[in-house]
Amino acid sequence: MSFLCSAAGLLARVKLLEGSTTEQTRRNIKRWVSPTLRELAHRQKKLGPQKPERRAGFVEWNQRSELFAFSQRLGESFKVSQLQRAFTEKSFAQREEDRRRQLGIEESDLQMPHNSDLVEKGQHIAHAYVEAFLQHQLPKVPNDGHHAITSFLLSTETLAHVSSHLGTKDLIQSTVYPPSAESLAKSLYAVIGALASSSGIEKAFLFVRDFICTQLNQRDLLEVWTPQDPIQLLENICQERKLGEAEPRLLADCGKNTVLGAYQVGIYANRQLLGKGFGEDLKTATETAAIDALQSFFDTRDNRRPFDFSIHLKPKSVRLD
């Protein structure tokens, strides 16, 4: 009986503590918070969506500090003047010159450097290194494949993706904000050119390898480059290598003469199976089999050896002419 009394007393004390805690919590919430938040939300909804503001327009913005932080994030050594020039677009420089001219500044002080020449230099370096990298990593792929993969890596979308994730959005000095994909891509080219001017061409090569070539990691090369007219290309390769005439053969089919028909075709040369593929008709299945055979010849299958992104290509192997 005494045990039940002590347990009841303990429960009463716990309820009393919970009640006091709830009461104390309620007292800490001010009555003006809820209506204030509702009013702010109402005003925000009334104003509608707002345009994004430049970080450079904030009071605490420091351009030199941001450039220093950018170089430290990348682990590279830039000259501040070169890096600042890399993020200054020609249109922005012209607008600043016009503004200074209206303020009566002397003509000798009107010139503002921009990144046009750095963009051209960086583009030349990136294109040369990507081609050399693909020649080293995919030696069996023909020139058409190299050109297609190079175009993918140096496309505006890919370069803009890399540039935005490096944090160049708020550093770009442009007349339009947020910067377009083309501005992001050009700024990345300019950063490559600035790095080559500041730390040498080998550092620029490593930058291209680490941030641009790595976009091929875990990517299906067939999505990047699909050979045009694969059957004719396979026949040409078989003739060059003296493998005999490529001959497609029907291996299996199901659902024939129905909308769910499926065919499996294999391509042979000298009684050797080169590749096989599936399709909803014989033509599609034959093209798929030809692509499968070409992937074996070019060593571009999914189970191929991964790209080696730790290689150091010698400057002599990169054509900068």
Task: Report the CATH number at residue 117.
Answer: 1.10.1520.10
Residue 6 pLDDT exceeds 60: no
What span, in angstroms and rounded, lies between the C-alpha atoms of 21 and 16? 9
The domain in which residue 275 lies consists of 231-298
Average pLDDT along the chain: 85
> What average pLDDT does this structure show over 145-174?
92
Residues 130, 184, single domain; the answer is yes
Residues 167, 275, single domain; the answer is no
> What average pLDDT does this structure show over 12-25?
54
Of 7-21, 38-52, 159-173, 300-314, the one with minimum mean pLDDT is 7-21
| φ/ψ bin of 192: left (φ > 0), alpha (ψ from -120 to 50), beta (otherwise) | alpha
Residue 315 pLDDT exceeds 80: no
Highest mean pLDDT among 7-11, 27-31, 116-120: 116-120
- Cα–Cα distances (Å) from 91 to 109, 119, 171, 175, 242, in that order, read 18, 14, 15, 7, 58
**Amino acid 102: pLDDT:** 77
> What average pLDDT does this structure show over 105-114?
69
Residues 139, 274, single domain; the answer is no
> What average pLDDT does this structure show over 57-77?
87
Residues 76, 204, single domain; the answer is yes
Q: What angle do CA 310, 316, 320 make, to 5 degrees?
A: 100
Token pair of 107 as six digits: 């003509």
Q: What percent of the chain has pLDDT over 70?
A: 89
Q: What is the sign of the dihedral through the CA atoms of 53, 59, 63 and 68?
A: negative
> What average pLDDT does this structure show over 109-121?
83
Q: Does any domain span residue 143?
A: yes
Q: Does any domain span residue 42?
A: no
> What average pLDDT does this structure show over 4-26?
53
How, if at all, do strands 262-269 and 247-254 pair? antiparallel
- pLDDT tens-digit map of 194-226: 999 888 899 999 999 999 999 998 888 888 988
> What average pLDDT does this structure show over 59-77?
88
**Which residue bears the tokens 């501040």?**
80
Q: Which of 174, 195, 221 is the last residue of a domain?
A: 221
- pLDDT tens-digit map of 25-35: 556 778 888 99
Q: Does any domain span residue 205?
A: yes
What span, in angstroms and rounded, lies between the C-alpha atoms of 216 and 257? 41
Provide the strand spans (E) within 97-172: none
Q: Does any domain span residue 189?
A: yes
Residue 22 pLDDT exceeds 70: no
Residues 210, 69, single domain; the answer is yes
H/E stretch holding 14 reads helix 2-28
> What average pLDDT does this structure show over 9-38?
66
Query: How many domains would you assign to the chain?
Result: 2
Confidence of residue 1 (pLDDT cuts 50, 70, 90): very low
Residues ≥6 apart with Cβ < 8 Å to 16: none
The HSE-up count of residue 229 (CA atoms within 13 Å, CB side) is 6
Of 15-24, 75-84, 137-146, 255-264, the one with minimum mean pLDDT is 15-24
> What average pLDDT does this structure show over 111-137?
90
